[in-house]
Chains A and B, each alone.
Chain A
Amino acid sequence: MNYEISLMTTMAISVLFALSLNLITGFCGQISLGHAAFLGIGAYLAAMLAKAGVPFLLTLPLAMLLAGAVGTVVGLTSLRVRADFLAITTMGVGFLFVGIIRQREWLGGELGIAGITGSNMSKLGYMLFTVLCAILVMALCIYLRRSWMGRVFNGIAEDEDTMRVLGINVPRYKLAAFAIGTALAGLTGALYAYHFQYIGPDSFGFVESITVLSMVVVGGIGSVAGVTVAAALLSALPAWFQFIGDYKLLVYGSLLFLMIRFVPDGMAGLVRRHLGKRRAEERGK
């Protein structure tokens, strides 16, 4: 049972992380290849604070604040560069983060930080807490998408210049997307640190950033339900693939490729098309 609880917590953390990127990339159309850096910022801050004896519930908002603040600064770059240039810039931010962490002795350097004190909750309690966080963030995302802000995000994703012509303050909304998305990533990072009780620079590198991006794309970019399901499935996949041991990543990579190659609009698109076909058939009758 312990294993299932731990797996469930990991899945909830992945869902949170994927939803936070979906806000930036899915809703607002700003590609980020360095999102793991914000997970890392949250995780490192939480780890340091936990070691200093700061209570669990206080570290979460602090992690959000710091990650969100750094995220806003990184978001400034999205005002300067667009699309592919932005993708590469954010990738650079990711490498910069890992590079800085690696050379800081007081952040554990290459070895990372081990023995992070837990959250004082039971394993089951902690799982329920992370799942609750995931549900709240899902609700927030659904609310956001229907709000005025969500509509502007969508407009920016579709066609930034038109939004500008319409008199929308595009930079402000882009920064808002980055601030909210990265703050949520910071929260996820703090939950991550308390869950695994060990963090190292390798957990927040480029691989992590593209894994989360692939969750978003496989789920169907912008779709809250799709991204949630994809993140839960993809994070559990390696655990289910344990039996193929050595070939785990080979299968993961191939699946990712085949999935995107044959279903480019992700699971959400697949479901939508399927439903659309059924509805058309019913109408035809």
Chain B
Amino acid sequence: MLLVELFTQGLVQGSIYALIALGLTLVYGLLRILHVAHAAFFTLGAYVGILVCNASGSLILGFAAAMATAGCAGVITYRLAYEPLLDKPPFVALIASIGLYIASEEAFRVLFGAQGISFVDPPLQQQLLLFGTIRLKMAELLVMIGSLAIIFVLSRLQNGTRLGLACQATVSDPQMAESFGISLRLVRDLNFFVGSALAAFAGVWVALLNNLVEPTMGSVPSYKALAIIVLGGLGSVRGTLAAALVLGVVEAYGTIYLGKLLDRNAIAFAFLILVLMVRPQGLFSRR
């Protein structure tokens, strides 16, 4: 029974990782930048979500506000921070991103305090019993369904709309795409908006699950998400989803059975290194 329960917990964690990593994959695929500051939007989303939900009493409004704010912040970050650095070597943008992330984490601490904030009346906390055996919180069930649905919709949009195809074209060959009349700026803005909004979406879910939002909540997911997009074979949406779920499950089992040897992060990264040594192109890359 423990095995099944761990598996579900792993999937819950994995779907949150997937939401965060997805935005990172979009950015990486487009700009080849390891966007560490992505986790700042995850934290931002969680804060906005809680504040709006507490003020208005509506969780849906909280989600909407969080995603809109983080999305806009993402676009602004792209314009101010990354666009001017695009022709520089990639580690320049990486350092800029790290600086931005450190500053934002501190800004949250200064603005909202180091203790963190919580929901006044946390929604979706009822316990469910699935198939008579698996105990889950409502929020845990919904985050799994929600992230799968969003990723499904996103991949449909990517393959079924002109804009989605424009994004794909830009990923594979920006110059060619531009000469076919695609506005690179529009595509990049859009990707930053969607990616950051997804991170905020994940942030609100984590806030719901833990009923706590802290300034440092983004640091561990940000590194994990980097590991996940590498595992998924950089830039692939489906690969990212699969890698996130696999990592979530590996961590869940690992902490129980290897907890004495290594801590949670070390297990995740040991798994990553192992996979990369065997398959340097990532788990799910066709290359």
A residues touching B (Cβ–Cβ < 8 Å)? 25, 31, 77, 80-81, 83-85, 87-89, 91-93, 95-96, 98-100, 102-103, 206, 210, 213-214, 217-218, 221, 246-247, 249-250, 252-261, 264-265
Q: Are A98 and B266 in contact (CB under 8 A)?
A: yes
Q: Select the stretch in B94-102, B158-166, B184-192 that faces chain A.
A: B94-102
Q: Does any Cβ of A come within 8 Å of B267's Cβ?
A: yes
Q: Are A249 and B102 in contact (CB under 8 A)?
A: yes
Q: Are B91 and A206 in contact (CB under 8 A)?
A: no
Q: Does any Cβ of A come within 8 Å of B64's Cβ?
A: no
- A interface SS class: helix
Q: Which residue of A lies closest to B104 (CB)?
A: A253
Specify which chain A residues have a CB less than 8 angstroms from the CB of B149 in the assembled complex. Answer: none
CB-contact partner of B95 in A80, A93, A102, A217, under 8 A = A217
Q: Are B230 and A84 in contact (CB under 8 A)?
A: yes
Which of B32, B81, B106 has its CB near the most chain A CB atoms (within 10 A)? B106
Q: Which residue of A lies closest to B37 (CB)?
A: A257
Specify which chain A residues have a CB less than 8 angstroms from the CB of B267 in the assembled complex. Answer: 99
Q: Are A221 and B91 in contact (CB under 8 A)?
A: yes
- Contacts A85-B282, A261-B96 given; 14 further ones with Cβ under 8 A? A25-B91, A85-B280, A87-B34, A91-B223, A98-B266, A99-B264, A99-B265, A213-B98, A250-B106, A253-B104, A257-B100, A260-B85, A261-B81, A261-B85
Some 20 contacts from A to B, beta carbons below 8 A apart, are A81-B280, A88-B226, A88-B230, A88-B276, A92-B269, A92-B272, A92-B273, A96-B266, A98-B263, A103-B261, A213-B91, A213-B98, A246-B110, A250-B107, A253-B104, A256-B98, A256-B99, A256-B103, A257-B96, A260-B95
Q: Does any Cβ of A come within 8 Å of B277's Cβ?
A: yes
Q: Are A91 and B88 in contact (CB under 8 A)?
A: no
- Distance in angstroms between the alpha carbons of A264 and B32 in the assembled complex: 17
Q: Are B92 and A260 in contact (CB under 8 A)?
A: yes
CB-contact partner of A214 in B98, B105, B107, B270, under 8 A = B98
Q: Are B110 and A264 in contact (CB under 8 A)?
A: no
Q: Which residue of A lies closest to B273 (CB)?
A: A92
- Could you count the A-B residue pairs with CB atoms below 8 Å apart for me: how many are there? 140
- Distance in angstroms between the alpha carbons of A206 and B105 in the assembled complex: 15
Q: Does any Cβ of A come within 8 Å of B262's Cβ?
A: yes
Q: Does any Cβ of A come within 8 Å of B234's Cβ?
A: yes
Q: Does any Cβ of A come within 8 Å of B132's Cβ?
A: no
Number of interface residues of B (CB under 8 A): 47
Q: Are B263 and A99 in contact (CB under 8 A)?
A: yes
CB-contact partner of B103 in A89, A96, A254, under 8 A = A254
- Distance in angstroms between the alpha carbons of A91 and B266 in the assembled complex: 11
Specify which chain B residues have a CB less than 8 angstroms from the CB of A217 in the assembled complex. Answer: 91-92, 95
Q: Are B96 and A93 in contact (CB under 8 A)?
A: no
Specify which chain A residues have a CB less than 8 angstroms from the CB of B227 in the assembled complex. Answer: 88, 91-92
Q: In the complex, what's the smallest C-beta–C-beta distance from B255 to chain A, in angstroms?
A: 11
Q: Are B276 and A77 in contact (CB under 8 A)?
A: yes
Q: Are B110 and A96 in contact (CB under 8 A)?
A: no
Specify which chain B residues have a CB less than 8 angstroms from the CB of A260 in the assembled complex. Answer: 85, 92, 95-96, 99
- Distance in angstroms between the alpha carbons of A173 and B268 in the assembled complex: 30
Q: Does any Cβ of A come within 8 Å of B260's Cβ?
A: yes
- Distance in angstroms between the alpha carbons of A83 and B230 in the assembled complex: 12
Q: Does any Cβ of A come within 8 Å of B181's Cβ?
A: no
- Distance in angstroms between the alpha carbons of A103 and B104 in the assembled complex: 31
Q: Are B95 and A213 in contact (CB under 8 A)?
A: yes
Which of A80, A85, A92, A264 has its CB near the most chain B CB atoms (within 10 A)? A92
Q: Are B280 and A96 in contact (CB under 8 A)?
A: no
Q: Are B230 and A103 in contact (CB under 8 A)?
A: no
Specify which chain A residues have a CB less than 8 angstroms from the CB of B28 in the assembled complex. Answer: 84
- Distance in angstroms between the alpha carbons of A17 and B85 in the assembled complex: 27
Q: In the complex, what's the smallest C-beta–C-beta distance from A221 to chain B, in angstroms?
A: 7
Contact A257 to B273, CB < 8 A, known contacts A100-B262, A217-B95, A247-B110: no
Q: Are B276 and A100 in contact (CB under 8 A)?
A: no
Q: Are B266 and A99 in contact (CB under 8 A)?
A: yes
- Distance in angstroms between the alpha carbons of A34 and B260 in the assembled complex: 23
Q: In the complex, what's the smallest C-beta–C-beta distance from A228 to chain B, in angstroms?
A: 18
- Distance in angstroms between the alpha carbons of A255 and B262 in the assembled complex: 35
